[in-house]
Every structure is written in C-alpha cells, then in structure tokens.
Chains A and B, each alone.
Chain A
Amino acid sequence: QSALTQPASVSGSPGQSITISCTGTSSDVGGYNYVSWYQQHPGKAPKLIIYAVSNRPSGVSNRFSGSKSGNTASLTISGLQAEDEAEYYCNSYTSSPSSVFGTGTKVTVL
C-alpha cells in the first residue's frame, strides 16, 4: 500500500487560509468517506483534528475543515495562527483492508 500523496510543505501568513491536499486512489480516498487528518507538533503524539472527511472532534477549532473530491481529500486551515505550525497527516481506510497515512505536510506560519 503506497502512502497517500501530500505536498511536503505549505506556508501562510497569520490570518490567511491554507489548504493541504491528500491524493490517493479509488481503493482508498476515492472509495470511502473514511478520511481523517492528524496534527503533530515536534516531539508530540499525533492529534485527531478531522474524521470522516469533514467532521471535527469536540474541542477542535472550527478553523479546521475538511472536504473530498474524487481521489483527493483536502484540509483547510482558516485564520492561520502561530500554534498551527506543525506537521499534518491524512489517513484513509483502504480496500485491502488496511489503513494508510499520507506523506505528511509541514505547515509554516510566516
């Protein structure tokens, strides 16, 4: 199972919006609405921020939103803040059945 494809890095200024893409295939992202997103700060465990494509767990800021079109899922961070600087990973259920993470995207707040 190949990792889902994410851009290596995305940057933005405080207050701006950024979008991170996550591209898979019809056997994972495109075949199921079971895409989740995780935020990981350096030296910390990952934190769930989006599940089932577009749902936010309790306590997660509404500045985070998710969507999907075909084989590509996306995470948008609105009103970018310094604390959003972290690594972000998408994840999808697959038909194998297994699970697969994305390659990860480093978000930098300029």
Chain B
Amino acid sequence: EVQLVESGGGLIHPGGSLRLSCAASGFTLRSYWMHWVRQAPGKGLVWVSRANSGGSDTHYEDSVKGRFTISRDNDKNMLYLQMHSLRAEDTALYYCARGDNYAWDPLDVWGQGTTVTVSS
C-alpha cells in the first residue's frame, strides 16, 4: 500500500525550531517530487515547499523562505522539513504529499498530517 506518515509535530515556543519527518512506503521516494502543505486550524490549504527527486532543486512559499528547509533521504525513504524561527502563524497541520516527475505535477498521495503548535 502506498502510504505517507508524518511525525515530529508538537508544541513549540515562538522562535524555536522543529524538524518534521515523512516516512514513505509502498513506493520508491527517489522517483518523485515531494511537497509539504499546511493547514491552519479552520483554514485552507497552503503550499509550503517542494523538492525534486534528488533534493537539489527546492522551492518555498514566500513566508517560510529562509526559515524552513526541505530535504530528503532517498535511501531511507524519508522526507523532512526543518523549521526555524517559528511564529504563531506557523501553527498548522502539516501534510507531506507526493508529486511526480515534474514540479508542476499534482499531489496524488497525502499523509494524515502532523500538528505543529507555536505558542508561549
């Protein structure tokens, strides 16, 4: 079964750091662009970041540029999102999602998400 499972969320103080992980199973991660998407409580989806199959080409939403870093370990079938300088507005459910061969391909597999709460 093709599956994505996120972990690493939690309660963090403003200014803190957190690393999210996404474990892929049922498919070979190295063949796909991978994305992070977030959803604040009661709000809509917001695309956050994506990385190409090798991790060398990465893109970010403007509000997280310079604070978040997407990376991947294809040998371990893992995707990561390192988050620094966290703000209250980063509070959200974070999903990892699978693209395909190109940056513009749709997201056809989603995890269930991991919750990040930034609060003092």
- Contact assessment for B110 and A36 in the assembled complex, using a CB-CB cutoff below 8 Å: no
For window 78-120 of chain B, which residues contact chain A by CB distance below 8 Å? 95, 97, 103-108, 110-113
Q: Does B61 contact A (CB under 8 A)?
A: yes
Least CB distance from B29 to A in Å reads: 18
Q: Does B35 contact A (CB under 8 A)?
A: yes
Interface size class of B (residues with CB under 8 A): 20 to 34
Residue of A nearest to B103 (CB): A97
Q: Does B26 contact A (CB under 8 A)?
A: no
Cα separation A110 to B113 with both chains bound (whole Å): 31
For window 51-107 of chain A, which residues contact chain B by CB distance below 8 Å? 51-52, 57, 87, 89, 91, 93, 96-104
Would A32 and B44 be within 8 Å (CB), given that A1-B62, A45-B95, A98-B59 are in contact? no
Cα separation A96 to B59 with both chains bound (whole Å): 9
- Contact assessment for B107 and A98 in the assembled complex, using a CB-CB cutoff below 8 Å: no
For window 4-51 of chain B, which residues contact chain A by CB distance below 8 Å? 35, 37, 44-47, 50
Cα separation A20 to B59 with both chains bound (whole Å): 28
Interface size class of A (residues with CB under 8 A): 20 to 34
Least CB distance from B74 to A in Å reads: 22
Q: Does A10 contact B (CB under 8 A)?
A: no
- Contact assessment for B59 and A36 in the assembled complex, using a CB-CB cutoff below 8 Å: no
Residue of B nearest to A99 (CB): B47
- Contact assessment for A57 and B108 in the assembled complex, using a CB-CB cutoff below 8 Å: yes
Residues of A within 8 A of B110 (CB): 45-47
Residues of B within 8 A of A51 (CB): 105-106, 108
Please name the 10 residue pairs, one residue from A and one from B, whose CB atoms are nearest each other, closest first. A93-B104, A51-B106, A34-B104, A104-B44, A36-B106, A45-B110, A99-B47, A101-B45, A48-B108, A89-B45
Task: Give the interface of B toward A (CB within 8 A).
Answer: 35, 37, 44-47, 50, 59-62, 95, 97, 103-108, 110-113
